[in-house]
Structure 1
Amino acid sequence: MALVLLVLLILLCDTVSKKPSINCITDVDPLPLPHEFYQPGLLVIGEIASQVLYLFETPSFKEQPTQMLINEPMSVLKNYQHILALAFAIKEINGNPNILPNITSGFHALNSYYNARITTKATLSLLSTRQRFAPNFKCGIKRKLIAITGGLDSETSVSVATIIASYKMPQFTYGSYSPAQNDKTQFSSLYQMVPEEAYQYMGVVHLLQHFSWMWIGLLAVDDDRGDRFFQTMIPLLSKNGICAAFALKLPKLTYLSDLTDLVVKQAEKSKVLYDDKVNVCFVYGEPPSVYVLRLLFFLFPLISLQPIHKEWIVTSQWDFRSVSYQKIWDIESLHGAISFTVQSKELSGFQTFLRAINPFGGKGDGFIKDFWEQAFSCSLTFSNIHSESRNICTGEEKLENLPGIFFEMRMTGHSYNVYNAVYAVAHALQSFNLSRSTHRRNVDIQLLFQNVQSWQLNNFIRSITFNNSVDEAIHFNENGELKAGFDITNWVTYPNGSFIRAEVGRFDPWAPPGKEFTIHDYQIVWHRTFNQVLPLSACSKKCLPGYSKKKKEGEEFCCYDCDPCPEGMISEQMDMDSCAKCPQDHYSNYCHNQCIPKDISFLSYEEPTGIIFATLAISFFLVTVLVFGTFVKHQDTPIVKANNRRLTYILLISLAHCFLSSLLFIGKPGKVTCLLRQTIFGIVFSVAISSVLAKTIIVVMAFMATQPGSRTMPLVGKRLGYFVVLFCSLVQAGICVLWLSTSPPFPDKDMHSAHGIITLECNEGSVAMFFCVLSYIGCLAIVSFKFAFLARKLPDSFNEAKFITFSMLLFCIVWLSFIPTYVDTKGKSTVVLEIFSILISSAGLLGCIFSPKCYIIVLRPELNNRKLLIKRKT
């Protein structure tokens, strides 16, 4: 946790040196800052490096290992590569005849110490004459300062930009991104080699959604940058269906003497990190976060806390780097971490350049001595105060033998940004040269570049596009941001402090929609705790297909119960917010995870019920025809002549049609059959019942006409019967016409009566008209029953009133039972019920009225004569 400890030391520098053990560079020192790297040249690129160097004594810490903090100079060794990347770029440019020919470029690297006051002094020293701290006043040998690149953290970048803003000097930031940098009115010459942080956050959201990590922890140092991170990230996560289980603020170290209290207090706050449901944490990865997190990992076991094993996700500012006193600190807790790093490529010749670095040949390099001594734990001079505890440096030490946590031979993303920034300045100068040479002839290039002003390059930098040495296109957008994506890096650590950066994916915000995020799951190495199984990070278990999420009251929306989907609704995927309703022609299966097409159902001639009803209807029809034929054959016999022979024929014909009308209810409903089935049924039944009514009326009227003084004789006759049949039938026909003209029946589908079945049926159109038809038939039957009941005991040669009474009684029972049953019946059963009622009621009429007569005609013909009938009457 070097940076956090060093922030403490920086604050002490500003407090009149309360700790005499700390050597501070104060702003009253008139000389240039120590620890600088100077390479002369006509053109100078200033670099505010992030190399941190301090000397302090070790405070006491109960039961701490003596190796934890040692009494030696400290530095963030890996930052030295940024300066070497700058030197390497300058070396390449100076050796390239196609870029700035006959011009020698140089640079001047100074230390920022992660401190605003020292950064300010370093910036002002770049604006001064060498060896003279006089900002904005230069004399002697002139150096032309063209651009500045720095710094690694956002505070350094803003501190530098605030000073050079009035000069309009191009500044390239290569590390953290600050919202203040968006103010282009104040920082119009600020260029960012790192894309805006909002793109990183969206990449993290894509990553979390890809692995279904919906319950995560957020960590950031307790400062303004951390607050901005929480204020931005929590709403963004919520908008994308992800919850922050906690937002842990990591402490800012002040004095080492407060370390004990700080660790104890932070241990209490950090208990949230032991939540088993939160296995993924997103860390705002600026250097303070890295140092504090590693400090907690190291100190928690010392106060009897369990190690923290999580899957860490970090931003592009993150890097595995340590100061020298952290050599023994294990980085196993960070094994398997995933970070978003600015896309970088390996440069040809860079590793060769690094291998040539030697502490005895670094002319002008004020950093290499401290770097070499701390990296290899040796001393370059015999007079070094630590020489008695160290070996002498031979200069033969190899950088490639250093653990990656101290130095990497592979170019890091930040160093790659520095490299590209230098080339951007060089190509901008090249464009400036070309633009001036086209307007002037015989231009003295040396004189031209002596007079160039740094602000003149801004227009060229904004519009520049070039390919670097690895053929990667470099250009800036309208906001001065480098148009680049992010590599998704998996960090695989080893006990000796070395690690491997494995590129497992990519996030490119400039890619076409749907192709921004790519990742290779099988390449990722997870933390050893998870046994190479994808870690889960969720407040609740996933809801299986067939279930939907039900939010828990008073908790985040990521915490929920799983409710089964109701009937007719499904959820096909995991963790559905709600169940989806199946289409009307589908139904949900037993597990409620799939919609299945419903079966089509109607009463067909192929199924047993349809066959039985069709057979009965045709059989009864044939029996009716047979009876009709029998009556026609014996039409002159007394029993046929009794009670109006023609009315009997009308009744038999209507009954035959009643049996046939039931066939309209069998088969697939169509437009024609739907229009005919109820109307034909209503009319033929009305004809049949009105014929029975006419027969009973004639019997009653005939008896009344035989009474003395009766005046009903003129009313008795065939015409009365015909009139009754015609009138009653026409009334029913009128009702049917009104029905068809207003709301006729039509083919319909019943989707809901039976589970998993679509019943094809005839929608009656107007239910009221349908019951009007039935009610009218019922009224005719009741009147017929009443007349037949009154005439059942009247003397006559052959009184069929008693048989009509039984038939009407049966008819009324059938249809009175039909109505409530019909209302409660759904689907195909309604058709079955109506066919059954038609056949039973028609067969009742046929059997009750005509079976006694057929018995006499066919089986007892001797009884079918007038004398016997008169004798029976007497």
Structure 2
Amino acid sequence: MIFAIDEINQNSNILPNITLGFKIFDPCYSASRALQGTIWMLGKVKSVPNYNCKFQERLSAIIGAFLSTSSLPVARLLGLYHHPQISHASSISLFSNKLMFPSFLRNVPNDNFQSTALAQLLIHFGWTWVGIVASDNDFGQLGSQNLKREITQTESCIEFLEVIPTQNSRPSILKIAAMLKKSTANAIILYTTIENLMPLMEEVFVHNISGKVWISITSWSVSSDISKKEFLQLFEGSIGFALHSGEIPGFKQFLYSIHPSLSPDDIFIKTFWEQAFGCKWQDNETSQTSKLSEEKKGIHCTGEEKLEDLAVSIYDVYNFRFTLSTYKSVYATAQALHDMFTCKPGSGPFYNRSCANYSDNIQPWQLLHYIRNVYFKTDAGEEVFFDKNGDPPTLYDILNWQLYPNGSGRYVKVGYFDNLAKGGKKIIINDTAILWSKSHNQVPRSVCSESCPPGYRNVVRQGQPNCCFYCSLCSKGEIANQSDMAFCIRCPDDQWSSDTRERCFPKTIEFLTYEESLGVTLTSAAFVCTFITACILCIFFRFRETPIVKANNRDLSFLLLVSLMLCTMFCLMFIGQPTKINCMLRQTSFGIIFSTSISCILAKTITVVIAFNATKPNSKLKKWVGSKLPNSIVASCCLIQVIMFAVWLTAFPPFPEQDLKSKDENIVIQCNEGSNIAFWCMLGYMGFLASISFVVAFLARKLPDTFNEAKFITFSMLVCISVWMSFVPAYLSTKGKYMVAVEIFAIISSTFGLLGCIFFPKCYIIITKPHMNTRDYLLGRRM
């Protein structure tokens, strides 16, 4: 402050012909003394507010206090007079309330931003499990509550929040130390003032609590107290925030030029000299109270000691933090006075555009107006201004306390936090510049539970914070493509999860193809069945004039063989990717053709019954003997099926569809039958025809068997009905291509059954026993 005032008084560009003076009052960390000093500075005699018995020097503004607890009563008092107060260190968010503190301004950021910065620091290092130790005062309570809210919003967790009593009672300190020792959190935020912190750190040192990363805040991060020898190893690797350090041109030389002989009336310099150099002045009363070790008391100060020889940890002339804030505060006051004094009448900010009359006693509220609106740049190029809440721009340095092999230590700037940074990234940290403590080879871990890898989701342990969890593998069809996901993501319907549940991949297309073994087998079986049927047809055609072929309606036998051959050929329509035409034709063509086959068998069965009963005398069935009745049976039975299919295709035509849900890892391309009722009606109708054929054939099984096919038809219908009755549950219990395979198998099996039971015995006689395929032989057997 003295340097800044001297610099201003020597600068002809600011407040020319006006000399600034100052008063200094040390409140000694006491709020009551700070209030007493404020009343004294305001010129109130005997500390009586609102009373002034004599003229005092003009007091422009008050710079300070350092502690927020000291600034609070001062700000309340000065707010009554609207007297400007610019603090260089008080940071609690409460001061931004202009209804409570209308005349308070500051050159340190609002603590709300420090809470935000601390939360982002935790995110950067992945510390989701932290502890907080706070002072039991407005600074600690308000700050820790803001910090707790910010940490909670980032989904991190707080293991504990302990409060250091203002009296620093030993039992309370021991309790907090024990908590720190058993804590599983390695990142501990010390949201305290330095006078509350030191007793706790002494206990931490005594109890040898190691492995913790102490996270500092602006109130103590650069305090000289933590550079004491017993604390060097304790704070090794610590990281935290400090006020932005900047350059003050000429200030380094000013600090090195300080000497007791140059300022004999300065009450601080000699005491500082004794403590800095470990000596005592022979004629200095302060030497009696200087805190020197026993071995140092015999050393006398000569005045020839050089400040340049002092270590940076003792006399830092490079990193100006609260110093820079004080410097800006003095300049803000001087700039506001300059703006007020250079006001031109008629263009002022007050009533009737008037200016302040500085020849009289300037009203505090007038100067307050100018300080609120001040804007300038320091010689180092830093902007100085206040927002509507009296707060400056928010900029913090991120410091890392590093210990070197020679036993010395210092804090190193490793990043910064800028609330006004462009691009949205407010915190920047150079991780390679950080030196952690010896117990940590890399970034320390401070988590309640280790991260769940991709493919797993976090399941919170019952009764514990959400940072304490166990990992559960995502269900099938779900993925977790990042670590520590609370919920798994369901794959789209056309995709499926990998075995590791880390990503979705497209489902494979599934339909019965000619290339796969199942398709090849069924295709081969269909060709074999078609070939055998064609061979039987050829044999019957070759021997069409023989009695065994002519028996029981030769034309129906040919029609039956052709329909069976077409049935097996149309099986191929079920193989391959379904198309619209394919889906519409395959069930209808199969239904009509197979119904024709069953109708032929029914007609043959009825022909057998009529033929043997028509031989009885006076039988009325003689008129039904011939081809008219069987042809009518086949035509009428097929016509009913054709009508059913016409209605089906008109009202509910089958179509191809993608079944995304029946199989997990496949998209089944299949035919939607359009109407399940129509499909089952088609099968039911064929079953009805087969059942009638079976019943009629069963009843006629004992007729003379020379020309009788009833026994063979009975067995063939028994096989056919058994196949299709087995088909129903098999069809309903399968999905995708296997449904198609089941239907093809049923068609081929029933065809083989009909061929084997009806035609194989006849072919056996025709080929191997031609003597039995004569009319005489057949008639002989009947005789």
Q: What is the TM-score of this pair, normalised by structure 2?
A: 0.90
Partner of 2:690: 781
User: Match for 1:655: what amino acid?
Assistant: L
Q: Secondary structure at the match of 2:704?
A: coil
Partner of 2:351: none
Partner of 2:241: 340
* 1:622-670 superposed Cα distances (whole Å, 9 cap, x missing partner): 4434443444454444333322233223222221221122111111122
Q: 1:722 to 1:173 in 2, by over 3 A?
A: farther
Q: Secondary structure at the match of 1:829?
A: helix
Does residue 90 of the first structure (1) align with residue 5 of the second (2)? yes
Counterpart-to-counterpart distance in 2, 1:253 and 1:723: 115
Partner of 1:279: 186
User: Match for 2:448: what amino acid?
Assistant: C
Q: 1:480 to 1:615 in 2, by over 3 A?
A: same
Pairing partner for 1:654 from 563, 571, 584: 563
> Which segment drifts farther, 827-836 or 361-370?
361-370
> Which segment drifts farther, 665-674 or 374-383?
374-383
User: Match for 1:293: what amino acid?
Assistant: L
Partner of 1:483: 393
1:446 CA displacement = 13
Does residue 846 of the first structure (1) align with residue 755 of the second (2)? yes
Alignment map for 1:284-299 (pairs within 5 Å): 284-298=191-205
Alignment map for 1:655-674 (pairs within 5 Å): 655-674=564-583
Partner of 1:756: 665
Pairing partner for 2:551 from 626, 642, 647: 642
* 1:525-562 superposed Cα distances (whole Å, 9 cap, x missing partner): 212222x3221112223323333222222323322222
1:404 CA displacement = 4.6
Report the identity percentage.
39
Does residue 196 of the first structure (1) align with residue 110 of the second (2)? yes
Counterpart-to-counterpart distance in 1, 2:422 and 2:228: 44
Does residue 378 of the first structure (1) align with residue 274 of the second (2)? no
Q: 1:489 to 1:385 in 2, by over 3 A?
A: closer
Partner of 2:292: none
Partner of 1:60: none
Q: Verify the 8 A CA contact 1:176 1:286 in the aligned structure 2.
A: no
Partner of 1:361: 262
User: Match for 1:306: what amino acid?
Assistant: N
Partner of 1:70: none
Partner of 2:35: 120
Q: 1:449 to 1:523 in 2, by over 3 A?
A: farther
Q: 1:625 to 1:432 in 2, by over 3 A?
A: farther
1:322 CA displacement = 4.6
Partner of 1:306: 208
User: Match for 1:346: what amino acid?
Assistant: E
Counterpart-to-counterpart distance in 2, 1:362 and 1:508: 40
Pairing partner for 1:246 from 142, 160, 163: 160
Q: Verify the 8 A CA contact 1:404 1:499 in the aligned structure 2.
A: no
Provide structure 2 residue ranges, at least 5 long, that are not aligned to the other structure. Answer: 289-295, 349-354
* 1:747-789 superposed Cα distances (whole Å, 9 cap, x missing partner): 3334455553333222344444433322222222122122222
Does residue 407 of the first structure (1) align with residue 315 of the second (2)? yes
Counterpart-to-counterpart distance in 2, 1:495 and 1:118: 44
Alignment map for 1:190-589 (pairs within 5 Å): 190-253=104-167, 262-264=169-171, 266-275=173-182, 277-298=184-205, 301=206, 305-322=207-224, 329-362=230-263, 365-384=266-285, 386=287, 389-436=297-344, 439=347, 448=358, 452-493=362-403, 499-512=409-422, 514-530=424-440, 532-589=441-498
Q: 1:840 to 1:144 in 2, by over 3 A?
A: same
Partner of 2:84: 170
Counterpart-to-counterpart distance in 2, 1:697 and 1:169: 122
Q: Secondary structure at the match of 2:576?
A: coil
Counterpart-to-counterpart distance in 2, 1:535 and 1:107: 48
Partner of 2:293: none
Counterpart-to-counterpart distance in 2, 1:166 and 1:227: 26
Q: Secondary structure at the match of 1:244?
A: strand
Alignment map for 1:618-637 (pairs within 5 Å): 618-637=527-546
Q: Secondary structure at the match of 1:408?
A: coil
1:168 CA displacement = 1.6
Q: 1:390 to 1:469 in 2, by over 3 A?
A: farther
User: Match for 1:311: what amino acid?
Assistant: V
Q: Verify the 8 A CA contact 1:404 1:497 in the aligned structure 2.
A: no
Q: Secondary structure at the match of 2:601?
A: helix
User: Match for 2:447: what amino acid?
Assistant: A
Counterpart-to-counterpart distance in 2, 1:228 and 1:274: 26
Q: 1:740 to 1:105 in 2, by over 3 A?
A: farther
Q: 1:617 to 1:291 in 2, by over 3 A?
A: same
Q: 1:451 to 1:276 in 2, by over 3 A?
A: closer
Q: Secondary structure at the match of 1:110?
A: coil
1:206 CA displacement = 1.5
User: Match for 1:313: what amino acid?
Assistant: I
> Which segment drifts farther, 516-525 or 314-323?
314-323
Counterpart-to-counterpart distance in 2, 1:726 and 1:397: 129
> Which segment drifts farther, 368-377 or 276-285?
368-377
User: Match for 1:589: what amino acid?
Assistant: S
1:224 CA displacement = 4.4
Q: Secondary structure at the match of 2:127?
A: coil
Q: Verify the 8 A CA contact 1:651 1:687 in the aligned structure 2.
A: yes
Q: 1:323 to 1:550 in 2, by over 3 A?
A: closer
* 1:203-227 superposed Cα distances (whole Å, 9 cap, x missing partner): 2111212222122111012344433
Does residue 147 of the first structure (1) align with residue 61 of the second (2)? yes
Count of residues in correspondence between the two structures: 770
> Which segment drifts farther, 683-692 or 585-594?
585-594
User: Match for 1:343: what amino acid?
Assistant: H
Q: Secondary structure at the match of 1:146?
A: coil
Partner of 1:690: 599
1:381 CA displacement = 4.4
Counterpart-to-counterpart distance in 2, 1:446 and 1:357: 39
Q: Verify the 8 A CA contact 1:219 1:283 in the aligned structure 2.
A: yes
Q: Verify the 8 A CA contact 2:31 2:71 in the aligned structure 1.
A: no
1:117 CA displacement = 2.1
1:282 CA displacement = 0.8
Counterpart-to-counterpart distance in 2, 1:860 and 1:488: 108
Counterpart-to-counterpart distance in 2, 1:392 and 1:655: 126
> Which segment drifts farther, 686-695 or 354-363?
354-363
* 1:78-98 superposed Cα distances (whole Å, 9 cap, x missing partner): xxxxxxxx2233333334444
* 1:339-398 superposed Cα distances (whole Å, 9 cap, x missing partner): 122323233322112111112213653322322222323233425374693533233333
Q: 1:454 to 1:527 in 2, by over 3 A?
A: same
Provide structure 1 residue ranges, at least 5 long, that are not aligned to the other structure. Answer: 1-85, 255-261
Counterpart-to-counterpart distance in 2, 1:114 and 1:728: 110
User: Match for 1:428: what amino acid?
Assistant: A
Does residue 603 of the first structure (1) align with residue 504 of the second (2)? no
Q: Secondary structure at the match of 1:107?
A: coil
> Which segment drifts farther, 366-375 or 828-837?
366-375
Q: 1:563 to 1:620 in 2, by over 3 A?
A: same
Counterpart-to-counterpart distance in 2, 1:845 and 1:166: 112
Q: Secondary structure at the match of 2:684?
A: helix
> Which segment drifts farther, 499-508 or 111-120?
499-508
Partner of 1:156: 70
Q: Secondary structure at the match of 1:362?
A: coil
Partner of 1:31: none
Counterpart-to-counterpart distance in 1, 2:492 and 2:16: 74
